[in-house]
Amino acid sequence: MNMVNQIGNRVALLQVPVTESKSTNLKTASDYVRKAHDAGAKLTVLPEIWNSPYATSAFGDYAEVLPNVGDKLKEESTNEGEMSGTSDDSTEDSWGESPRLLMTLAKQYNMYIVGGSIPETCDKKIYNTCLIINPSGEVVGKHRKVHLFDIDVPGGICFKESDTLTAGDGVTHFEVDGLGKIGVGICYDIRFPEFAMLLTQQYNCKILIYPGAFNLTTGPAHWELLQRARAVDGQCYVLTASPARTSPPDDETDDTKYPHYSAWGHSTAVSPWGEVIATCDEQPAMVVTDLDMTKVEEMRMAIPTMKQKRGDLYRLVDGE
């Protein structure tokens, strides 16, 4: 494999189409991660629930055992997504094929992968979980979606993740040379400014990443608005990756097991000034952009809101 020179501040947001075939989804993810590598990205982001249909009835069927922070594969082959040899580590043997693929690809391409999210099974519970893998193939972050997507919009959409999923209870961040500290949330987490404030003010994150799958009701109304709000609030970059939109099935010809979910798409990068610096439409796409990290400090010095908080009136408390 020819290694491409990586640009230290280049990121790629992967808006991949998702099907009911897990093997197809894994192949698609592999292809897009390779494209990110070929584009010189140092860090790439997959969308929320990229290995499974986005349906509460599907999460249990597609859920996998995931590794924990500090875990890494003992043996990988040089072929994409395949293992050579066998491991005598029962914990590693229990990991699903999706995390093993991400760990293999991260090491193969020498890049950070923010692995969108996949359904995780653990202790008879199911979580919506994002793994962050470093270029050595090691898990350096694991975020379980904190705020579950339970909504009922009259005339719009009704969806209850809590029918199947359990909420996470942690704040997740990691660090990348040249980019600084990076915080991670998943989709609905972006609606909670307090969560973002913990990441930017308590942990000094300069980038917030939200794999998400907004729908055709909330997407056009709030997707970009929330990203720009979190960027301005935190004086940081905000990156999002959505699944591509897929066509609803034809009831007469398509035999689908799960309800169809139409994602809004529009994976986006927003600057600390609240400007959209890169985006796409709803079709399969890869959004590549270079982040000027000096803009974060410029913003925080020019409008120093983090130093102007009124601790006598209100304060941010870390629940941990």
Backbone φ/ψ region at 21: left (φ over 0), alpha (ψ -120 to 50), beta: beta
Q: Which listed residue (22, 107, 142, 145) is catalytic?
A: 145
Q: Are 108 and 78 within 8 A, CB to CB?
A: yes
187 is catalytic: yes
Q: Which listed residue (22, 42, 48, 76) is catalytic?
A: 48
Alpha-carbon distance of 40 to 55, in angstroms, equals 34
Alpha-carbon distance of 185 to 182, in angstroms, equals 10
The DSSP 8-state label assigned to residue 138 in this structure reads B
Q: Are 219 and 190 within 8 A, CB to CB?
A: no
48 is catalytic: yes
Residue 89 CA from chain centroid, whole number: 28
Look at residue 142 and give its three-state secondary structure: strand
> Which amino acid is it at 191?
R
Number of CB atoms found within 10 A of residue 69's CB: 13
295 token code pair: 């803009």
69 token code pair: 């922070």
166 token code pair: 């359990």
- CB neighbour class for 92 (10 Å; exposed up to 12, middle 13-18, buried from 19): middle
Look at residue 133 and give its three-state secondary structure: strand
Alpha-carbon distance of 234 to 284, in angstroms, equals 29
Helix then strand count (H, E) for the chain reads: 8, 15
72 is catalytic: no
Q: Which listed residue (130, 187, 205, 236) is catalytic?
A: 187
Buried b (16+ CB within 10 A) or exposed e, 290-307: bbebebbeebbeeeeeee
Active site amino acids: 48, 145, 187
